[in-house]
Structures are given as C-alpha cells and as structure tokens.
Amino acid sequence: MGMEATTMRTRRPATVWLEAALLAFLAIGGFTGGLSFVIDPTGARLGAKLAWLEKTPVRDFLLPGLFLLVVYAIGSVTLIVGLVWRPAPGVLRPIDATLHHHWAWVGTIAMGVTLVAWILYEFTIFTERMVLQPILLAVGAAMVAICAAPSLRRFYEIPPDRRR
C-alpha cells in the first residue's frame, strides 16, 4: 500500500483545486518575500522598514524571511502535493489515524489559521497597513472555510478500517 491514497473516494471535488490555488498563491508570496528578506535582511528590497520591527523580538527581516520560505513557500507546496495526490507516507499515518483525516487537509487548516494569526499580529504591531494584509487575511480565512466544506471533509476523511 505504501504511498497510495488513504481514502476511498477518487474523484476530487472542485474545492481541492481552489484550495491548491490559494496555497500556490501563498507559496509564490512566501518564496518571493522570503528570498528577498534572506538576501537583504534590511527589507529595503521590498520597501519594508526596520522600524516596523521595533515591537518584535527580531531586529531585521532574516528570521521572518526564513519563516516565509520554510512555512509559506515549502509548506504550501508540500500541502498542494498532499491535497492533490494524497500520499500517505508511513511517518504521517499516525496523524491521519489520530485525526481521522488526511494530513494535508489538517495541515491546510493549520496553514490557514497560521496565516490569519500572522496577519492579525501584523495589524497589532505595524502602524502602516500594506495592501497584501487584507488579501492574505482573506486567503487564510478562505483556506479554513473551504476545508470545512462537507465535500472536502468527506474526500479527506480516513475510513474507519484504515485508522490503525
């Protein structure tokens, strides 16, 4: 069985592709912003200001850049693969069995919640608003809401006989 899909349903609901598109948008932004901050931790390359970080535990954009690269870029691509192909590597099977849903579905909810929390945190510490903030807030909320759709929940549900 190895890397086979962990659910019985094979026809993907259209919401899978919508979720994948939102994650792709997030991955592109995470890669672009993360790489820019890693290359230039001052943030000048993107028009960011070090003054924005005064109320944070960091003094430059290197760590936020690494977070963007690892979590939003690499994490989103990993979730896209999981949502579309539903691989079930042995190390992730306990997560599937415990939560009764495929790891990528659970991870997408976690990614959406993380994105919403990140943007709300930015709202509290940054005095300036950026055009991407409300867009990313909506993307994060949509990621969670779409995962709650009954068709998507059923598609990623682990059947009782495979919850071992």
Where does residue 39 rank: exposed (0-12), middle (13-18), buried (19+ CB within 10 A)? exposed
pTM for this prediction: 0.90
Each residue's pLDDT tens digit, 92-125: 999 999 999 999 999 999 999 999 999 999 999 9
Q: What's the gap between Cα 33 and its chain centre?
A: 15
* pLDDT value at 4 more than 60: no
Helices 75-85 & 14-39 angle (0-180, nearest 10): 160
Each residue's pLDDT tens digit, 46-80: 999 999 999 899 999 999 999 999 999 999 999 99
